[in-house]
Amino acid sequence: MFLLKKLSSMLIWLGVELVVTFEIGLGIYEYVFYVFVLMSVQVAKELKALRSGTNNNRKLHWIAWDQVLADKKHGGLDIGSLVSLNFSLLLK
Protein backbone atom coordinates (compact mmCIF):
# COMPACT_ATOMS: atom_id res chain seq x y z
CA MET A 1 0.00 0.00 0.00
CA PHE A 2 2.81 2.38 0.90
CA LEU A 3 4.57 1.61 -2.38
CA LEU A 4 1.39 2.32 -4.34
CA LYS A 5 0.96 5.72 -2.64
CA LYS A 6 4.59 6.61 -3.27
CA LEU A 7 4.36 5.53 -6.92
CA SER A 8 1.12 7.45 -7.35
CA SER A 9 2.62 10.64 -5.89
CA MET A 10 5.70 10.25 -8.10
CA LEU A 11 3.55 9.91 -11.23
CA ILE A 12 1.49 12.95 -10.25
CA TRP A 13 4.67 14.95 -9.66
CA LEU A 14 6.03 13.83 -13.02
CA GLY A 15 2.80 14.96 -14.70
CA VAL A 16 3.01 18.35 -13.00
CA GLU A 17 6.61 18.76 -14.12
CA LEU A 18 5.69 17.88 -17.71
CA VAL A 19 2.82 20.37 -17.76
CA VAL A 20 4.96 23.16 -16.30
CA THR A 21 7.78 22.42 -18.74
CA PHE A 22 5.34 22.41 -21.64
CA GLU A 23 3.80 25.73 -20.57
CA ILE A 24 7.21 27.37 -20.18
CA GLY A 25 8.29 26.07 -23.58
CA LEU A 26 5.10 27.34 -25.19
CA GLY A 27 5.55 30.74 -23.56
CA ILE A 28 9.11 31.00 -24.84
CA TYR A 29 7.96 30.00 -28.33
CA GLU A 30 5.23 32.67 -28.32
CA TYR A 31 7.70 35.31 -27.10
CA VAL A 32 10.27 34.44 -29.77
CA PHE A 33 7.57 34.43 -32.46
CA TYR A 34 6.36 37.86 -31.35
CA VAL A 35 9.80 39.43 -31.09
CA PHE A 36 11.46 38.00 -34.18
CA VAL A 37 8.54 37.59 -36.59
CA LEU A 38 5.76 40.04 -35.77
CA MET A 39 8.06 42.84 -34.65
CA SER A 40 10.26 42.38 -37.71
CA VAL A 41 7.23 42.79 -39.98
CA GLN A 42 6.32 46.00 -38.15
CA VAL A 43 9.90 47.31 -38.39
CA ALA A 44 9.96 46.48 -42.10
CA LYS A 45 6.72 48.43 -42.57
CA GLU A 46 8.21 51.40 -40.72
CA LEU A 47 11.36 51.31 -42.84
CA LYS A 48 9.30 51.06 -46.00
CA ALA A 49 7.26 54.07 -44.88
CA LEU A 50 10.47 56.00 -44.23
CA ARG A 51 11.98 55.26 -47.61
CA SER A 52 8.89 55.71 -49.77
CA GLY A 53 7.67 59.14 -50.64
CA THR A 54 4.35 60.13 -52.17
CA ASN A 55 3.42 63.00 -54.44
CA ASN A 56 2.20 65.04 -51.46
CA ASN A 57 4.92 64.01 -49.05
CA ARG A 58 8.56 63.98 -50.19
CA LYS A 59 11.21 62.22 -48.14
CA LEU A 60 14.92 63.00 -48.01
CA HIS A 61 17.06 60.17 -49.40
CA TRP A 62 20.82 60.04 -49.31
CA ILE A 63 20.88 57.44 -52.07
CA ALA A 64 18.21 56.16 -54.42
CA TRP A 65 16.43 53.09 -53.01
CA ASP A 66 16.26 51.63 -56.49
CA GLN A 67 20.05 51.57 -56.48
CA VAL A 68 20.23 50.04 -52.99
CA LEU A 69 17.73 47.31 -53.85
CA ALA A 70 19.34 46.56 -57.23
CA ASP A 71 21.48 43.49 -57.88
CA LYS A 72 25.18 43.62 -57.05
CA LYS A 73 25.90 43.25 -60.76
CA HIS A 74 24.23 46.60 -61.31
CA GLY A 75 26.00 48.39 -58.44
CA GLY A 76 23.37 47.83 -55.75
CA LEU A 77 23.46 46.12 -52.37
CA ASP A 78 21.08 43.33 -53.45
CA ILE A 79 18.90 43.69 -50.35
CA GLY A 80 15.53 43.08 -51.96
CA SER A 81 12.62 42.93 -49.57
CA LEU A 82 13.51 43.59 -45.95
CA VAL A 83 10.85 41.14 -44.78
CA SER A 84 12.20 38.30 -46.91
CA LEU A 85 15.77 39.14 -45.85
CA ASN A 86 14.80 38.96 -42.18
CA PHE A 87 12.92 35.65 -42.62
CA SER A 88 15.88 34.14 -44.45
CA LEU A 89 18.21 35.19 -41.62
CA LEU A 90 15.81 33.77 -39.04
CA LEU A 91 15.70 30.42 -40.82
CA LYS A 92 19.50 30.00 -40.81
- Is pLDDT at 7 greater than 80 in this prediction? no
The pTM (predicted TM-score) of the whole model is 0.32
85 and 79 in contact (C-beta within 8 Å)?
A: yes
User: What pLDDT sits at residue 54?
Assistant: 55
What's the whole-number average pLDDT of the chain?
Answer: 71
Q: What is the mean pLDDT of residues 33-49?
A: 72
* Strand locations in 1-92 (E): none
Share of the chain above pLDDT 70, in %: 70
Q: CA-based Rg of the chain, rounded to a whole angstrom? A: 25
Q: Is it the case that residue 73 has pLDDT exceeding 80?
A: yes
Nearest Cα to 42, choosing from 90, 86, 78, 92?
86
Q: How many domains, in total, are found in the chain?
A: 1
61 band by pLDDT with thresholds 50, 70 and 90: low
User: Is the C-alpha dihedral spanning 58, 45, 62, 64 positive or negative?
Assistant: negative
With a cut of 60, say whether residue 90 has pLDDT above it: yes
State the residue range of the domain holding 22: 2-91
